């Protein structure tokens, strides 16, 4: 039997101090060392911290349900090594043309009736072509008129294109950094990290909200996950929405054989994301289909406050409406209504007076 050491003689559980004041307000000066130290905290300390920060800005019983629609599938000119939609890999996916706005609006209305508060339109494009703008504007204004929050992910954008999307009623633009700057070249070679940062700048510059996150389980190491979250936390403005995807292995893509990330490491990633970007909607995105209910519950307790719902993401499956309703019911969670006041406009809740962190 292992005799427990008396508490007073045990080593301190963190190698640096995160004082209460440090967590009270969003910071943009995180160092990689600090982010790495958060990751390395004992799991109960890390999730206590992230759950505390979560409560400061959000009601932890509320979850935003987001629905995706692939408005233009496959045939993409980029070679992202994880993606079913790249024309560089034979994944068996059938490419389609850009959908008609009427079809998109019918899907959005169905999503709203099923409880979604947000609708995200995704196109497998390297960059947006001006000729497609009128149709996109019709989709965006139509979805917005249904009372849904709108998001789109259409590849690289110029500033004037971002402005037109915003004027049409777009709330968020999704453009992920995906991984650390160092690992990026292992994932995609047809564009650079700087290309991604440039589009994000164009999006921010016209007042659109950013949806920006990444993928875990692409063969990267902990240091790359730290590098991704550090990159997100030190952007000129934090992402307003931060999707964390677990790689869905797609046969035919270069990354399909990657070793999956352990569930506990996934929860750590969610928790650290919540701490370093405290006001972001942290979304459990791809890969939820392969997660146990218990793992999803841990993510939602550690700071995630949104899930993607419906039958599928863009091209890959989701748990589905019955499983998701049962999860929400069993966890006692409520869906954020489509017309709810945005969380960011609510007054922050004070942190507990007691020391919330290990010394």
133-162 residues in contact with ligand SF4 (CB under 6 A) are: 155
Among residues 141, 166, 277, which one has the least CA distance to residue 212? Answer: 277
Annotation marks residue 80 as catalytic: yes
- Smallest separation (angstroms) from ligand SF4 to the CB of 122: 8
Among residues 278, 283, 261, 256, which one has the least CA distance to residue 349? Answer: 278
229-268 residues in contact with ligand DTB (CB under 6 A) are: 243, 245, 248
Instruction: Please state the length of the chain.
Output: 359
Q: Is 202 in the site for ligand SAM (CB under 6 A)?
A: no
108-147 residues in contact with ligand DTB (CB under 6 A) are: 120, 122
Which of residues 78 and 324 has its CB atom nearest to ligand SF4 in the complex? 78
Partner from ligand DTB, ligand SF4, ligand SAM, none contacting 247, C-beta within 5 to 8 A by type: ligand SAM
291-350 residues in contact with ligand SAM (CB under 6 A) are: 314
3-state secondary structure the chain: CCCCCCHHHCCCCCCCCCCHHHHHCCCCCCCHHHHHHHHCCCHHHHHHHHHHHHHHHCCCCEEEEEEEEEEECCCECCCCCCCCCECCCCCCCCCCCCCCHHHHHHHHHHHHHCCCCEEEEEECCCECCHHHHHHHHHHHHHHHHCCCEEEEECCECCHHHHHHHHHHCCCEEECCCECCCCCHHHHCCCCCHHHHHHHHHHHHHCCCEEECCEEECCCCCHHHHHHHHHHHHCCCCCCCEEEEEECCCCCCCCCCCCCCCCHHHHHHHHHHHHHHCCCCEEEECCCHHHCCHHHHHHHHHCCCCEEEECCECCCCECCCHHHHHHHHHHHCCEECCCCCCCHHHCCCCCCCCCCCCCC
Q: Is 175 in the site for ligand SAM (CB under 6 A)?
A: yes
Give the whole-angstrom CA distance, residue 316 versus residue 310. Answer: 11
Q: Is 273 in the site for ligand DTB (CB under 6 A)?
A: no
- Smallest separation (angstroms) from ligand SF4 to the CB of 5: 49
Which of residues 18 and 227 has its CB atom nearest to ligand SAM in the complex? 227
Annotation marks residue 211 as catalytic: yes
Partner from ligand DTB, ligand SF4, ligand SAM, none contacting 86, C-beta within 5 to 8 A by type: ligand SF4
153-212 residues in contact with ligand SF4 (CB under 6 A) are: 155
Annotation marks residue 277 as catalytic: no
Give the whole-angstrom CA distance, residue 4 versus residue 42. Answer: 17
Map residues 234-263 to x or -, x wherever contact with ligand SAM holds by CB under 6 A: -----------x-xx-x-------------
Annotation marks residue 163 as catalytic: no
Residues 6+ apart with CB under 8 A from 2: none
Which of residues 249 and 263 has its CB atom nearest to ligand SF4 in the complex? 249
72-131 residues in contact with ligand SF4 (CB under 6 A) are: 76, 78, 80, 83, 85-86, 124, 126
* N-terminal to C-terminal alpha carbon distance within the chain: 29
274-333 residues in contact with ligand DTB (CB under 6 A) are: 285-286, 313-316
- Smallest separation (angstroms) from ligand DTB to the CB of 44: 28
Across the chain, which distance is largest between two alpha carbons, in Å?
A: 72
Which of residues 59 and 289 has its CB atom nearest to ligand DTB in the complex? 289
Partner from ligand SAM, ligand DTB, ligand SF4, none contacting 120, C-beta within 5 to 8 A by type: ligand DTB
Partner from ligand DTB, ligand SAM, ligand SF4, none contacting 111, C-beta within 5 to 8 A by type: none
Q: How many residues lie near ligand SF4 (CB under 6 A)?
A: 9
Binding site for ligand SAM (CB under 6 A): 82-83, 122, 124-125, 153, 155, 175-176, 178, 215, 245, 247-248, 250, 286, 314
Binding site for ligand DTB (CB under 6 A): 68, 84, 120, 122, 153, 174, 176, 213, 243, 245, 248, 285-286, 313-316
């Amino acid at each position: 039997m292992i005799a427990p050491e008396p508490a007073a003689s045990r080593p301190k559980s963190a190698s640096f101090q995160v004082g209460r004041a440090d967590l009270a307000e969003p910071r943009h000066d995180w160092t990689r060392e600090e982010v790495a130290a958060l990751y390395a905290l004992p799991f109960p300390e890390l999730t206590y911290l992230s759950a505390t920060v979560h409560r400061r800005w959000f009601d932890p019983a509320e979850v935003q349900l987001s629905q995706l629609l692939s408005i233009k599938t496959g045939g993409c000119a980029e070679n992202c090594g994880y993606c079913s939609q790249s024309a560089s890999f034979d994944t068996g996916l059938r490419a389609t043309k850009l959908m008609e706005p009427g079809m998109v609006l019918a899907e959005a209305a169905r999503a709203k009736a099923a409880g979604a508060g947000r609708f995200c339109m995704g196109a497998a494009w390297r960059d947006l072509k001006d000729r497609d703008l009128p149709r996109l504007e019709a989709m965006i204004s139509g979805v917005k008129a249904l009372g849904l929050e709108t998001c789109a992910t259409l590849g690289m954008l110029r500033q004037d294109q971002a402005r037109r999307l915003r004027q049409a009623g777009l709330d968020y633009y999704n453009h992920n950094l995906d991984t650390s700057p160092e690992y990026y070249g292992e994932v995609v070679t047809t564009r650079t990290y700087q290309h991604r940062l440039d589009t994000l700048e164009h999006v921010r510059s016209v007042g659109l909200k950013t949806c920006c996150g990444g993928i875990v389980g692409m063969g990267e190491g902990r240091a790359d996950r730290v590098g991704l979250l550090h990159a997100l936390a030190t952007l000129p403005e934090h992402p307003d929405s931060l999707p964390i995807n677990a790689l869905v292995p797609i046969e035919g893509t270069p990354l399909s054989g990657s070793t999956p990330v352990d569930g506990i490491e996934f929860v750590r990633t969610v928790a650290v994301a919540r701490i370093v970007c405290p006001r972001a909607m942290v979304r459990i995105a791809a890969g939820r289909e392969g997660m146990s209910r218990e793992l999803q519950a841990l993510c939602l307790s550690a700071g995630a406050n949104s899930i993607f719902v419906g039958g599928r993401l863009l091209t890959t499956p989701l748990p589905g409406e019955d499983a998701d309703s049962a999860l929400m019911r069993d966890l006692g969670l409520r869906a954020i209504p489509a017309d709810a006041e945005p969380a960011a406009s609510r007054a922050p809740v004070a942190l507990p007076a007691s020391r919330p962190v290990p010394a």
